[in-house]
Each structure stands twice: as C-alpha cells, then as structure tokens.
Amino acid sequence: MRSLLFVPADSPKKLDKAMTSGADALVVDLEDSIAPAGKAKARLGAVAFLEEVTAAETRPYLLVRVNGLQTGLIDADLDAIVPTRPDAIMLPKAEGGASIVHADAKLAVREALSGLPDGHIKIAAIATETAAALFLAGTYAGASNRLSALTWGAEDLSAELGAEKNRDTEGMLLDPYRLARALCLAGAAAAGVPAIDTVFVDFHDIEAFRRECGAARRDGFSGKMAIHPTQVPIINAIFTPTPEALRHAQAVVDAFAASPDTGVVGIDGLMFDRPHLTRAKRLLARATPRRKPTAG
C-alpha cells in the first residue's frame, strides 16, 4: 500500500469523499480523531460505512483504527466492526509482539462468532507511540500471521516524553522521533512486513510534504499515511516505481533467473549481488496498487 488516508468514523461526508480520493487504503478512525463522548456514535458510523462499501466492485483496502489495548475500549470496537469484515485493524500504541498476540486472540474469538475465516482480519501496528514501545520494536517477528505492516507516530510519543515539539523550525524531525522512525523501519524489516511512514500534519506545506515522502521512499518505507485527501496524489506518485526503475528491477531479476547458481551478475557493465535481487523483487511487488476487489 502506498497511501493510507485517515478518516474520522463519525463523519459520513468525509468517509464518502475518501472513497474517491484515490488512496490505496482508508483508515476509518475510532481513536484520536474521536472525542471520548463520541466513541459510541463513531462505532455506529464505522459499521454503517463498512457495511455499505465492503461489497463494492472495487474499493480501497479498509482498515479501522481501534482504540488501544490499554484503554478498555477496544473490545467494544471489535464487537462492532468485526462482523462488517474490514480487511485489517490498525492497532495504536502497540508495545511489541505481545500486543499483536493479544489483539490476535481478540480478533480470533470474534471472527469465529461472526463466521469469518480465522485470520481474515489483519493487523497494522503503530509501533512507536509510547516510550516503552521503542524498546520493543524488534519483537514483532513471528508474533502473528495477521501482522501486515508497521508504522510509527510522533504525536503521542512527544506527549508522553513531555516534549514541547517534535519538529524543528524548518519542519525536520527532532532526534527522539528520528530514532522512532528508524526503529519502525528496522522492526518492520525484522518482521518481514512493510514499513509505512507517519503522517505530515501541515497539509498546506506541499513542498515539505513532498520532500518527506521522497526521503521515506529512499530509506525503505513502502508508503505513507495521509490526513488530508490532497496528500494522496503526492504519496501515490512518489511511492509508485518509475518505468525506468521497474525495467532495471526486472533486468536484475531476469539476470539472476538466467544464472540461478551465481551470486553476482553483470548488467551494462555494473555488478549486482543477491541483496540487489531482493531489492528488485520488492520493488516489482510494490508496482501494483493494493485495492480490494469485491468480496465473494
């Protein structure tokens, strides 16, 4: 997935608009964008939306950001949304593999009660929103087959750290949040799942946003989260491999396929080894946007 657009579950207008945004995935939000008094209403909004769109002929990948395991609200969230068959939940304030195991168990029970196949609903985890989570970023590997992506966040982390801000006057991330970003990237690689870059909250600053997308792609993130529909086309453009990059990646794959027992191949006078093959395969795998066909 290249682009994941957050949409508050209590806004039917924004949910409808998001369906035409071009985002690869929509994150129907029951957490931070919903005031405590509005949680019950937001669940009803999420259910109504998901019941309407999950059977669409083509649609974005659908996630629901539930409330965290520590809040006591996640059970009501899952009771409401699991029967609507979302593709995944986004688990906020995850703290390592143990959080994924816990969420997996909750999903398994509700899938069984709803007649869904075990493992139907995947988990994308926000891996850096608490201080404790930073020390557990390397523990996601093997936690659950449901784990489909790791992402990270700076807003909740800065609040927990007591920081005044998480970016400098030029919009660049400060050191604690650069560390969180790097740990997410490494944790995702260790777990064998994609890493998704965090949101950029100043959606009016297009050039800074474009630069941050480019840096994320350069460093190994496969996509980025968005808070506004105007950010989606930029994310999609930057995280879509260029024809030239795809041709080169295919050439690397073809060269190794022609010499499967070699560790190094030559292309146009340059030498490429097995890590280049891994990179090429990943690039080719990202070439097709992930949009779900109709269920059933």
What CATH number belongs to 3-240?
3.20.20.60
Closest CA to 85 of 113, 60, 62, 56: 62
Query: d(Cα 285, Cα 42) in Å, to the nearest integer?
Result: 35
pTM (2 decimals)?
0.87
List C-alpha distances in Å: 284 to 40, 239, 295: 42, 12, 25
Domain ranges within the chain, ordered by starting residue: 3-240, 243-283
The pLDDT tens digits along the chain (296 residues) read: 999 999 999 999 999 999 999 999 999 999 999 999 999 999 999 999 999 999 888 999 999 999 999 999 999 999 999 999 999 999 999 999 999 999 999 999 999 999 999 999 999 999 999 999 999 999 999 999 999 999 999 999 999 999 999 999 888 999 999 999 999 999 999 999 999 999 999 999 999 999 999 999 999 999 999 999 999 999 999 999 877 878 888 888 988 888 888 888 888 888 888 888 877 887 787 776 555 544 33
Q: Are 100 and 123 in contact (CB under 8 A)?
A: yes
